[in-house]
Structure 1
Amino acid sequence: MRHPRRASRDPLQGAAPGARQSRFPGAPALHRLVTGSIAWLAVVCALVGCAALPVDEEPSTVEQALAASEWARASDWGLLGTTPGWRHQRYGSARPTRYGVGEREGRPAVHANSRAGNSTLRLPLGAPVDPALRLAFSWLVPQLNHKADLRDAEIDDAVVRVILTFDGDRDLFRPRDRWLSEIVQLVTGEPMPYATLMYVWDHRYPAGTVVPNPHTDRIRMLVVQSGEEGVGRWNDLERDVAADFRAAFGEAPGRLTGLGLMTDSNNTGESVQAWFGPLVLRPAASPSLAAVPSDKH
């Protein structure tokens, strides 16, 4: 995912010692605030799929195909209630990842093909739902992206991401996140999610590793599969959403507000592809997912 280069100072702080002062008090900080807000807004929208950069008003071909697909019929997110449907979130003029639907080794699937691309399939919810859920999903990756590093903002691409967004008490935001949320709300009319959790498969960090986003700690990645084992075949995973949120953020989750799927390689410039199997959501206490193999990596 493309990020602006890191500034040497926080845009909310004052000028560096020894810097030439403007004759207008506060002008340097205001300048940094205005110029920095654009970059920060791009970061958050690219990561969590907010509406700052609009999707097409009419459903795209892939959105229509998703709605009518075997993958959608095989998925079960009925607990989420009525939703507006999956949307393909592009980011301005950036090259998008190409998403399609079909079948892979007998399993209905969403196919993601990224040639230095970056875009997201997102499912906003009509109303937030209780996060006491188990999420079963699967993915197939022919090859991992060994140039990527989740901890390096310049190359933090991931071949597969399953994304969950949550509501919460924004009064608890740190000053920088509060400022960023207000910018997002002002520009888009849609608040920045209180928290975003991303399940990822990574070649570098072991399963269980939590990687905070370098720009805001309200976005955290949880490595749920690690290394080469499983490459080239379907891998079935089942996650306790609330428990994973606590592990990643150290607090109880708010209500779930959205889901997403993402494959990106724009930072490393690589060509990668992946398949996502159907998504199944059940109450956390439900035994019906016990037959789905949990991640053992």
Structure 2
Amino acid sequence: MPSRLFGLLLSLLLAGCSIAPRQPPAEGPAADGWQAVPLPGKSSTEYRWVQKDGRQAIAATSDGSASMLRKRVSREAQALGEVSFSWWVSEAPENSSVAHADREDAPARVLFGFQGDVSSLPARTRVMFELAEALTGERPPYATLMYVWDATAPVGTVIVNPRSDRIRKIVVDSGPEARGRWREHRRNLADDFRLAFGEAPGRLDSIAVMTDTDNTKSRARSWYGPVELH
């Protein structure tokens, strides 16, 4: 599968489109609205609802796998404020890099899918959107903003996804130093969207978490605390 198309299909999954069989909702009392979503041709990361250090958490275990846990939301652009999330990483691939397609793995990601004016995008991107729509019946999000833990990139780095420039990442944790404890993050979604894409955001449609090691064929283990919109 062409790498740019794969990036758009990843966006489609974030938007809630059915390009692969959906899994049953994640189990547990806090699984409200979260859905396990596989990626085409990939074995799935295991997601479970657990208690971790006294808080409800999603435990993610990846062994050469990649999939998402996603929730649909609806928040108009003018109502966007801050978002808070946390993760605890205990095991991560050492040679991964979210900037390189052949090593594009991460022990922890939180993703946000936004709508926007697709007609304003370059012709090549619109063609890829149309191809993705033909495969799935729906178009990808206009833009996906992703917060990531990377092995080496400095905190604050903005990285354009090597497979699709409609996915952009902000590194909020880096390296092994902060493993083995909760890392708390609070971000302004609108400000970060402007930082990553150079424009104001549209409506927020979806939230997802993702732990993956399919490119490096390695292992990762993480926990995610609640993702809360303020």
TM over 0.5: yes
For residues 118-164 of structure 1, give each alpha carbon's deviation from its aligned partner in whole angstroms, at most 9, with x where no partner exists.
10011123x45336221111000013321101121011101100000
1:14-93 mapped onto 2 (5 Å cutoff)? 40-46=4-10, 49=13, 50=15, 51-56=17-22, 60=24, 63-66=25-28, 68-69=29-30, 85-93=33-41
- Are 1:272 and 2:217 an aligned pair? no
Shift of 1:54: 2.7
Structure number with the bigger relative contact order (C-alpha 8 A, sep ≥ 6) is 2
Residues 5 and 163 of structure 2 are in contact (CA less than 8 Å); yes or no, is this contact kept in structure 1?
no
Using structure 2 for the length normalisation, give the TM-score: 0.91
Match of 1:252 among 200, 203, 208: 200
Output the CA distance in 1 between the equivalents of 2:50 and 2:163.
Answer: 36
Shift of 1:117: 0.5
What are the ranges of 5 or more consecutive residues in structure 1 without an aligned counterpart? Answer: 5-35, 73-84, 283-297
Match of 2:98 among 139, 145, 150: 150
Residues 55 and 87 of structure 1 are in contact (CA less than 8 Å); yes or no, is this contact kept in structure 2?
no
* RMSD across aligned positions (CA): 1.9
Residues 48 and 196 of structure 1 are in contact (CA less than 8 Å); yes or no, is this contact kept in structure 2?
no
1:218-297 mapped onto 2 (5 Å cutoff)? 218-282=166-230
Amino acid at match of 1:97: T
For residues 229-284 of structure 1, give each alpha carbon's deviation from its aligned partner in whole angstroms, at most 9, with x where no partner exists.
321001111000000001111111111111000000000000111000011111xx
Residues 26 and 36 of structure 2 are in contact (CA less than 8 Å); yes or no, is this contact kept in structure 1?
no
Q: Which residue of 1 aligns with 2:110?
A: 162
Structure 1 or 2: more strand by fraction:
2
Residues 6 and 163 of structure 2 are in contact (CA less than 8 Å); yes or no, is this contact kept in structure 1?
no
Larger Rg: 1
Output the CA distance in 2 between the equivalents of 1:115 and 1:88.
Answer: 16
Using structure 1 for the length normalisation, give the TM-score: 0.72
Shift of 1:94: 1.8
Identity %: 36
Q: Which residue of 1 aligns with 2:151?
A: 203
What are the ranges of 5 or more consecutive residues in structure 2 without an aligned counterpart? Answer: none
Amino acid at match of 1:192: P
Shift of 1:175: 1.5
Output the CA distance in 2 between the equivalents of 1:45 and 1:52.
Answer: 10
